[in-house]
Each structure stands twice: as C-alpha cells, then as structure tokens.
Amino acid sequence: MEKIKILIFVVLSGVFLLQETPARNPAANGLKELPVKNFCVVIDPGHGGKDGGAVGNKGTQEKNVVLDIASMLAKVLVDNAGRNYKVVLTRAEDKFIALEDRITFANQAEGDIFISIHANASESRNDNGFEVYYNSLATDDALTNVARRENAGAAERKDPQPTDSMFVLWELAQNEFQKESMNFADAIQAGVETAVSKPGENGKKYLMRNRGVKQAGFAVLRGVRMPAVLVETSYLSNENDENNLRSPEFKEKMVEGLFEAIEKIAGKINRRQDGLK
Amino acid sequence: MKLRTKLLLVFILTATGVIAGYKVVNSIFFRPQNPAFNYAPEIKKIKLYFINRDGKLQAEKREIQGGVGILEDVKICVKELAAGPKEAGLFRGLPAGVVLNGVFIDDNRCIYLDFNQNIVENQAGGTTREMQMLYSLVNTVLDNFTQVTSVRILVEGHEIKTLGGHLDITQPLRSKQLEY
Ligand SMILES: [Zn+2]
C-alpha cells in the first residue's frame, strides 16, 4: 500500500513537472504575448439512451429536456463574441453513457468548470422549483448537508487527518474546488432567477420557485477534478414545471441565466489563473 | 529438562488453552446473546417513514410481530416499508416490487440491506425522488433500531455507485433529516 502511494506521488510529481515546461517556453522564445486561453466548459446532459431519467405526466422525458438545454447553452457559449469558450458535451445525442465515462471524459478534456444538467421529480406532485447543487465532501455520506452550508470555509473546519500527505493534498484540492463550485452555484442561482423573472414575449410570466443552492453527494460531481455543479432545472412531476420545461422560451431564459453565471465565474477563474503566472 | 522448566511449560500451555477456550466460548455463546441484537420475539410498535404531500418524510405507526433478533426485525420492518403506506396522503419511498434479499450487520453496527434488482429497475427518476427513497429507508432503520449506526445498500449482493444515477451510496448512510 505504502509503495503504491509513493508511486502515485512520483507519477503526480512527474505530471506537474511536465506541465510546467511548456508554460515557460513562450517567454523563452521571446513571443510577444500568450495566446488567449480558451475557457473550457464541460456540459453534462444527464441520463440518455436506455436511461430516460424522470418522466412528466405529459410524457416529457428528462433525457430530452436536458439535452435541449445543454445544446442551447453550448451554442450560446460558442457563438458569443466576447470570451473564447471551448465547449465539451459529455453527450450530444440520445445515448446511454455511464457516470464513470462522463467523469473520465470531463477530466481528460481538462475542463475549467463542469455543469451537469438535470430535470427533477418527486413523489409529491406539489414539489416544484429550480435548485443548484454542489458536492458535499466525499468523506461525508450522500445525504449530509442537503441544506447549504452557510460559509464557504465549512470544509476547513473538519479535523485534518495529518497521517497521510496524499490525502491532505487531495483534501486541499477538493476544498479549493468546493469553494469555486459554491460560487458557481450561487452565480447560477442568481442568474437563472433574474433571467426567468423577466417577462417573455407577449408579456408571459413564468412561475418558477427558486429553491436555492444545496449540497449533496452526487456521484458525478465527486469524480470530476474541477469546480462542478448540478442544476435541477425544474420538476417534471409538477404540472406547472413540466409546462415550463416544454416551453422553448422558458428554456431560452434558463440558458440565458446559465450563460450569465458562466461569464461571471469564467472571469473569476481566469483572473485567479492570471494571478498565478 | 528441569522440573521448573517443565512446570513453566505446562503452565503456559494451560493458560493459553484457557484463554483460547474462553475466546471460542465467548464468540459462540456470548455475542449472539448480546441483548442489543438478540432477544425474545415480541409484538413491536414501529414507525415507517413515507413521503407526504409536501414531499417530506412522515411516519406511519404500525405494530409488527417481531423476530428473535435485530436482523429478523429489520427485515420485517423494511418489508413493511416496501409494501407501501396505508394512510391516505402518503406516498411510498421505495419503488414497487422491491424485495429485501438479506440483512447483515458488521462490527461497526452498520446494517447492510441487500435488495433485488427492482430497486434500480423500478426507479421512476429524479434526484428528489432518489433522496426521498434513501431518507425513507435510512430513517426507518435508524429510528426503529437505535443500536444501528449506519445503513449500506447492496443490490443482488453487490455494492453499487448509485440507485438512480444521482447520489453516491458507496459510503455508509447515517443522515436522518429531509431538509428543504
Ligand atoms: Zn437526473
């Protein structure tokens, strides 16, 4: 076991060293400026193929709704004139993809942020609304911290486990992502609320309950090595919510809100990365 | 060999024998009679947690004919839970068709519930529904059996990552509230 840990450490150190080398090259070659960095957004439309996810009373399937929203978001990001976005979709068609493959794919793409898009359902037809989740720590069980933690540093209050340096490194990295995930979740919550509350064409108002930002142990969020959130767009088990999710205009508003949030978080993360140079 | 060495050897062997014997007897007879886990069958009042119209947990009280130990009682209790609510206005937490194959407990007093494939196949979808199911199950077990510290879910004898593609259940579950 100890040998394996040392081996992992050596391999990781090697990776860090390799990553540093190309970064030095542009300056050494006397290039005027660094190329504009693409900000990579990994969009993960939940479910797909044999896994339809939740189904509404009118037959609306989660896998289709979330693919719509994800594709619309991808288009808005790529088409925008400002920032240079690289968009990666974990699926672009109605296909089953295992959670592990989504995670591997996102990590291999070296995304800057990860956003998983879902539509919700409850045993109660009264349950409704929009909510954004970020991960609870992998050492907690899936059901802890469902109500959001009030302060960003909550994870740091846990007793450190100093016996294993690899574990501490991993914890530190996780805490860093967790804070950014929380900021991202906050930005989405605010962005979508603003976008949806604006009346649509013909003055149509969309009713959407904002259930806020929460934490839970989502398998897909625990695996990705980047700030990550999971958006529950609305409840297919609720009549009003299902109608919203069937409306192209509502989905456009949702996408507008998501885009605003990504713009905000991309600015923050890019500034931090610039600060590190 | 000197007499003293012989006596010492005999003493050591006897002592080892006594300790080993005690341990064997202890493990065979004492542990199963631990009153926290094994007891005489009796009629028990239990609380089954189902989902109410607000999507939150609500307990339904029932009486069961208990078994001779915690494993039997947990099995009876989860079977009642899987059968669904009797009161109006309550919804099932576990999907229909779910069968509990077996119940085990480990040294950390974590209860393992081994279900058939229907607990995955019959999922109706949705993160909230997945949470409601897990909370319904975990609350029912932890509330009725205070000797149990956590719950783990197996499907056909195997560990699985999630039941419906959302929540990671590879850790023991011990949370009891459904907060909104
Ligand atoms: Zn989903």
Ligand 1 centroid vs B129 CA: distance in angstroms?
10
**Residue A169: what pLDDT?**
61
Q: Locate the chain A residue with the closest alpha carbon to B138.
A: A143
Number of domains chain B is built from: 1
Q: Which of B121, B166, B169, B180 to mutate to test the interface with A (most CBs of A within 10 A)?
A: B166
**Residue A26: what pLDDT?**
40
CA distance A106 to B9: 66
Lowest mean pLDDT among A1-15, A160-174, A216-230, B57-71: A1-15
**Residue A149: what pLDDT?**
45
Domain boundaries, chain A: 9-13+35-273
Query: How confident is the model over A51-61, as pLDDT tens digits?
Result: 999 999 999 99
Ligand 1 centroid vs A63 CA: distance in angstroms?
8
Contacts of A55 in chain B (CB under 8 A): 124-125
Query: How confident is the model over A110-153, as pLDDT tens digits?
Result: 999 999 999 999 999 999 999 999 987 655 666 665 554 443 33
**Residue A152: what pLDDT?**
38
Burial of B75 (0-12, 13-18, 19+ CB in 10 A): middle
Query: How confident is the model over A5-45, as pLDDT tens digits?
Result: 544 444 444 444 444 334 334 444 444 444 456 899 999 99
**Residue B1: what pLDDT?**
64
**Residue A37: what pLDDT?**
65
Q: Is B107 within the bounds of a domain?
A: yes
On the question of pLDDT at A157 being above 70, the answer is no
On the question of pLDDT at B179 being above 70, the answer is no
Say if residues B101 and B156 touch (Cβ distance below 8 Å): yes
* B133: containing domain: 43-159
Say if residues B51 and B86 touch (Cβ distance below 8 Å): no
For chain B, strand residue ranges (E) read 43-51, 57-65, 100-105, 110-115, 150-155, 158-159
Lowest mean pLDDT among A18-32, A245-259, B131-145, B161-175: A18-32
Q: Which of B57, B94, B127 to mutate to test the interface with A (most CBs of A within 10 A)?
A: B127
Say if residues A140 and A245 touch (Cβ distance below 8 Å): no
**Residue B27: what pLDDT?**
56
Q: Quickly state the pLDDT bin for A255 (edges 50, 70, 90).
A: very high
B134 in contact with chain A, both atoms CB, cutoff 8 A = yes
Mean pLDDT of chain A: 82
Mean pLDDT of chain B: 88
**Residue B115: what pLDDT?**
98
On the question of pLDDT at A238 being above 50, the answer is yes
Query: How confident is the model over A177-221, as pLDDT tens digits?
Result: 889 999 999 999 999 999 999 999 889 999 999 999 998 889 999
Q: Which of A50, A124, A137 to mutate to test the interface with B (most CBs of B within 10 A)?
A: A124
Ligand 1 centroid vs A66 CA: distance in angstroms?
9
Q: Quickly state the pLDDT bin for A158 (edges 50, 70, 90).
A: very low
In this structure, which amino acid lies at residue A155?
A: A
Lowest mean pLDDT among A31-40, A220-229, A236-245, B170-179: A31-40
**Residue A271: what pLDDT?**
75
Of B128, B134, B171, the CB nearest to A120: B128
Say if residues A134 and A182 touch (Cβ distance below 8 Å): yes
Q: Quickly state the pLDDT bin for B112 (edges 50, 70, 90).
A: very high
Ligand 1 centroid vs A53 CA: distance in angstroms?
5
The Cα of A277 is separated from the nearest Cα of chain B by a number of Å equal to 37
Contacts of A220 in chain B (CB under 8 A): 166
Contact B171 A141 (CB under 8 A): yes
What is the pTM assigned to this prediction? 0.80
**Residue A170: what pLDDT?**
58
> Is A29 or B79 the better-scoring residue by pLDDT?
B79
Instruction: Give the pLDDT mean for A90-101.
Output: 97
Contact B91 A219 (CB under 8 A): no
Contacts of B93 in chain A (CB under 8 A): 123
B14 in contact with chain A, both atoms CB, cutoff 8 A = no
Query: How confident is the model over B155-174, as pLDDT tens digits?
Result: 999 999 999 999 999 989 98
B108 in contact with chain A, both atoms CB, cutoff 8 A = no
Ligand 1 centroid vs A90 CA: distance in angstroms?
14
Instruction: Give the pLDDT mean for A261-273.
Output: 87
Q: Which of A57, A127, A148, A237 to mutate to test the interface with B (most CBs of B within 10 A)?
A: A127
> Is A16 or B128 the better-scoring residue by pLDDT?
B128
Contact B124 A121 (CB under 8 A): yes
The closest of B86, B111, B110, B89 to B100, measured between CA atoms, is B111
The Cα of A183 is separated from the nearest Cα of chain B by a number of Å equal to 20
**Residue A30: what pLDDT?**
43
- Tell me whether 0.85 is exceeded by the ipTM: no
Say if residues B76 and B67 touch (Cβ distance below 8 Å): yes
Distance of CA A224 to the CA centre of its chain: 9
Q: In chain B, helix, strand, coil percent, each to 5?
A: 35, 25, 40
> In the beta sheet, which residues pair with residue A43?
A89, A115
Contact B124 A122 (CB under 8 A): no
**Residue A5: what pLDDT?**
52
Q: A9-13+35-273 belongs to which CATH class?
A: alpha beta
Query: How confident is the model over B7-44, as pLDDT tens digits?
Result: 888 888 887 777 777 666 655 555 556 777 888 888 99
Contact A141 B150 (CB under 8 A): yes
Contact B165 A211 (CB under 8 A): no
**Residue A174: what pLDDT?**
67
Local structure of A116: helix, strand or coil: strand
